[in-house]
Structures are given as structure tokens and as C-alpha cells.
Amino acid sequence: MLIYYAPGGGLGHLSRALKVLGFIKAQQALVITSPLPLAVDALLPKGIQHISLPPRLQSRAELSAWLTQLLASLNKQQECRLMLIDAFPGGIWGELGDILLPGKLVYIARLLNWNVYRQRVAHIPRFQQIWFCEWPTPEQEQALSNQTGQRFWLPLLGEDKSKGATPNGFEKPKQTLVIHSGSLAEQALLLEHATKAGEEIDIIAPPHPSADAGFNSNPLDSKSLDKSALSDFNNCTNKEHEPGLTRLQLYPASDIGWQYQKVICGGGFNLVSEYILHPGALFVPLTRALDLQHLRIERGLGGFLPPPGLSSVPNDILKRL
């Protein structure tokens, strides 16, 4: 059994998990995430199962106890031979340092605000391999320096799909698409960057947006919000209520943006890596306790390219591990 452990707010952690599992050609896997703002189980690829952390968990001790029981139950059914740990090497609350993890361990490394994260973590497990999908900060790199396992680059940069992206029947691309699974207030913030007189805007957002509370963020950026924009958005679900604004529910949102002239989203890894090559993309950094969205946006395309000498994850990595 292959387990992909990916707690964190929103849908980005699940989306990255699916990209990683697709890249390594995993036929079967169990993905563990935080509670999601959208029911996606029926949309997952064949062979991929999903479990969410119970919303009742309020502490590292409770999460450690729940995860210990789950892993023991899974191991009775089928031995876990490989566990991929997404983003947070010791778990989002440091829970992975408290328990015995089954099988071989691989850390999927992205930018992490290590100065904040290290306050949560007493111990980081020993990883057989580390796969970098973007290069860490010096503080994070130093913290991982005692990990002696192999290191690889995990190429998750999206393709340029601008040619031929406009579907048949459209004379030109649609105008503006906003994508965000976070809070309504953050959606309103993104809409502020999109709103212009006479402009048609589509927004992809779940019916029950995630506030990310307790997991990965402060709910709001320090930027003050346009209260009228937030009020308009709360009252709007389709064009009948607010001319020019259409709310869509779609997962994943990795292709549809190429049908639009502009794509506006936060600065999380998944959407930035997917749309960094889009000529009309605008990334708005949102405040996250454990992410560094400003730095990711400042790095631009170079942040998703491997450093010299670091080879990519081999195609047959599952046979090697």
C-alpha cells in the first residue's frame, strides 16, 4: 500500500498529491488530507482513495492518536510499503514525530516558512528520499541537511497550453477567471483585482469555502477588503443575481484557465505552478502561517526549475523504493 499524507487547508494539497501520484504512475494509493471544502472522492482517478482528518481533532496529541490507530488498521489489511509526506516533514502539527511510521518514507518538499514551522516540531522522521518540487529557503535547507537519503527534483511545472486552448464555438477566449477554495473574504480580495466595468468574471469556488483555520493560515491578508465587494459576492451565486459574475464548481481547475484571457488566484504552489506560463495570470500573495507566497511569486518561473546537478525522480522510482 502507498499512503500520501497531505494535511493542509484548501484543495491544493490534494491537487499536488494527485500530480505526484500521476507522475510516479501509482496505480493505487490512499491520500489523507484535512477536511476539504468540496466533495471530490467521486472525481478522483481510478485506484486513488481518500480519507479526511476528522474535524474534531484539536491538538497534536489527538491527531497523533488518530493517525496511529488509522495506520495500524490499514496495516492489518495490507502492509504499507511506502509513505509520501507532503509539505510538512514532521506533520502539520508535528504529529509525525510522535509515532512510528510504516514502510519507507519520502518527503515531498515545497517552500515552507521554517521559522514558524520549527516551533511546532520536536522531531522530523528519517526519510529514505526527498523530492523537491521547489527549492527551499536556506533555513529549511539547513534543517534538512542531516537527512542522508537521496535527493531528486520532482518536476510539477504545468505546461503552456495557450495554443489551441480556446474551445470550438468561441471566437476568442473568455475574459477573466478567478480560482480560490479559501474563505469568502479571500475570494472577495481576488475579485477586487478582477472587477472592471463591463467585464464578465467567472469564479471557481467550492460551495463551502475553507477558512483554513487551525491548519495553515491566518484567515485574512493584512490588506483591507472592499466591504461592498464582499457583500456583493456573498449575495451572488449566478448571473441572475449579479450580472457579469458567474460562480462555478469544478475540480481540478488545472486546464480551464487556458480558455480565459486572465486568470487570478492566490500564491499557493499548485495554481502558481499550473499557470505561471499563462500570459494573463495574476497571482495575489495571501497570508499563510506556513507558506511563503510572496517569495514564490517573486521567484517566478525560476522557482519551479531544478538547481544544477539535481536529477529528476526516475520513471521507475516505485520499483527502486
Give per-residue pLDDT as tens, 291-312: 999 999 999 999 999 999 999 9
Quick: pLDDT tens for 226-263: 334 333 434 433 333 465 788 888 889 988 999 999 99
**Type and span of the H or E element at 18:** helix 12-23
C-alpha cell at 249: 464548481
What's the CATH number for 174-303? 3.40.50
Q: How many other CB atoms are found less than 10 A from the CB of residue 275?
A: 24
Instruction: Please report the pLDDT score of residue 49 as a whole number.
Output: 96
Question: Which residues are CB-contacts of 11 (< 8 A; sequence separation ≥ 6)?
Answer: 36, 37, 38, 40, 181, 206, 210, 251, 252, 270
Q: Return residue ranges of the chain for CATH 3.40.50.
A: 2-155+306-320, 174-303
8 A C-beta contact, residue 235 and residue 241 = yes
Q: Which residues pair with 128 in a beta bridge?
A: none
Which one is predicted more confidently, 197 or 198? Answer: 198
C-alpha cell at 10: 484548501
Instruction: Please report the pLDDT score of residue 9 as a whole number.
Output: 87
Q: Please state, in angstroms and rounded to a whole number, the distance separating the CA atoms of residues 48 and 3.
A: 10
Q: Please state, in angstroms and rounded to a whole number, the distance separating the CA atoms of residues 72 and 312.
A: 33
Which one is predicted more confidently, 107 or 148? Answer: 107
For the chain, give the mean pLDDT. 86
Instruction: Please report the pLDDT score of residue 206 as a whole number.
Output: 86
pTM over 0.85: yes
CA–centroid distance for 185 within its chain: 19
Predicted confidence (pLDDT) at residue 222 exceeds the cutoff of 70: no
Instruction: Please report the pLDDT score of residue 217 as a whole number.
Output: 36
Alpha helices in the chain (DSSP H): 12-23, 60-77, 114-117, 138-143, 184-194, 227-234, 269-275, 293-299, 317-320
Amino acid residing at 197: A
Predicted confidence (pLDDT) at residue 225 exceeds the cutoff of 70: no
Extract the runs of DSSP E, i.e. beta strands, from the chain: 2-6, 29-33, 48-52, 82-86, 104-109, 129-132, 150-153, 174-179, 201-204, 245-248, 260-266, 281-284
Instruction: Please report the pLDDT score of residue 163 as a whole number.
Output: 78
C-alpha cell at 48: 486513488
Q: Residue 106 — pLDDT band, cuts 50, 70, 90?
A: very high
Quick: pLDDT tens for 115-128: 999 999 989 999 99
The CATH T-level fold of domain 2-155+306-320 is Rossmann fold (3.40.50)
**107, 304, 274, 34: CA torsion to nearest 10:** 20
Predicted confidence (pLDDT) at residue 200 exceeds the cutoff of 60: yes
CA–centroid distance for 167 within its chain: 27
